[in-house]
Amino acid sequence: QVQLVQSGAEVKKPGASVKVSCKASGYTLTSFDITWVRQATGQGLEWMGWMNPNSGNTDYAQKFQGRVTMTRNTSINTAYMELSSLRSDDTAMYYCARGRQGVRLWGQGTLVTVSS
Amino acid sequence: DIQMTQSPSTLSASVGDRVTITCRASQSISSWLAWYQQKPGKAPKLLIYKASSLESGVPSRFSGSGSGTEFTLTISSLQPDDFATYFCQQYNSYWTFGQGTKVEIK
């Protein structure tokens, strides 16, 4: 079955970092770009950036430049998104998605809560 | 950055109603627009891509139209499963989403 499976919920303190994983199954990670999107509770969707898992090339939203890092481990078919210097307004559901256009395949989401 | 303005933010309707949601782009995005449905606690589900192409498996009561800066999602006859939040997304230049339209039971 083709799917993206994300890591579990995280609780972090302000100033810490979080690393969310996104494991591709049923297809080879390097075949499609991986995009990261987040959604605060009751709010809209916000594009964070994307990565070409084949080359490792990334493109980040200006808002997250300097705080976000997208990487991958092709040997285990997994992509990662790390967000640093966390603030309370980073509390959100984080999604990985396959592709850069109309997206058919999404991860189930990872809730990241930032609280002191 | 391309801004997407979606309206209305909330829509109250009954089963069987025809429903229309509009999305306006701050500059031309050709037909590089998708529509998604999202239910609480779930990831978005692709309904329409390239402004008017129906995603496989999506009921034909959903349709999309428009190009350039003005786009519309229409549900021809609202069904109980359609009560959800809908988002437009431009992918002409990076991604931007509309603010969402919550379709509620009247």
CB B4 within 8 A of CB B34: no
The Cα–Cα gap between B71 and B64 comes to: 7
For the record, the structure tokens of A100 come out as 């850069």
Mean pLDDT of B62-72: 98
Beta-carbon separation of A59 and B43 below 8 A = no
Q: Is B97 in contact with A47 (Cβ distance < 8 A)?
A: yes
Q: What average pLDDT does chain B have?
A: 97
Map tokens 């306006």 to a residue: B24
Chain A residues with CB under 8 Å of B50 CB are 102
Q: What is the rounded distance in angstroms from the CA atom of residue A53 to the CA atom of residue A109?
A: 19
Which among A98, A82, A91 is positioned nearest to A31, based on CA atoms? A98
Residue A13, token pair as written in the block = 């303190």
For residue range B3-22, what is the model confidence (pLDDT) as tens digits? Answer: 999 999 999 999 999 999 99
The arithmetic mean of pLDDT across residues A34-63, rounded, is 96
Region B36-50 average pLDDT: 96
User: Look-up: residue for tokens 């606690």?
Assistant: B41
Segment B81-99, tens digit of pLDDT: 999 999 999 999 999 999 9
Q: Give yes or no for residue A101 having a pLDDT over 90.
A: no
State how far the Cα of B11 lies from the Cα of A15, in Å rounded to an integer: 39
The whole-angstrom distance between residue B74's C-alpha and the CA centroid of its chain comes to: 8
pLDDT surpasses 90 at A59 = yes
Give residue B37's pLDDT: 98
Distance from CA of A71 to the nearest CA of B (A): 19
pLDDT confidence of residue A42 = 87
For residue B49, give the nearest of A97, A102, A109 by CB distance: A102
Strand (E) or helix (H) holding A11: strand A10-12
Tokens standing for residue B56 = 């496989």
3-state SS class at B29? coil
Query: What's residue B60's pLDDT?
Result: 98
Q: How far are the Cα atoms of A19, A48, A50, B74, B82 from residue A68, in angstroms, in the given order? A: 10, 8, 11, 37, 35
Alpha-carbon gap: B77 to the closest alpha carbon of chain A (Å):
24
Dihedrals phi, psi of A26, to nearest 5 degrees? 85, -5
Does residue B70 contact residue B22 with C-beta atoms inside 8 Å?
yes
Across A68-72, average pLDDT? 98
CB A53 within 8 A of CB A59: no
Element (H, E) at B79: none
Q: Which residue of A has its CA nearest to B89?
A: A102
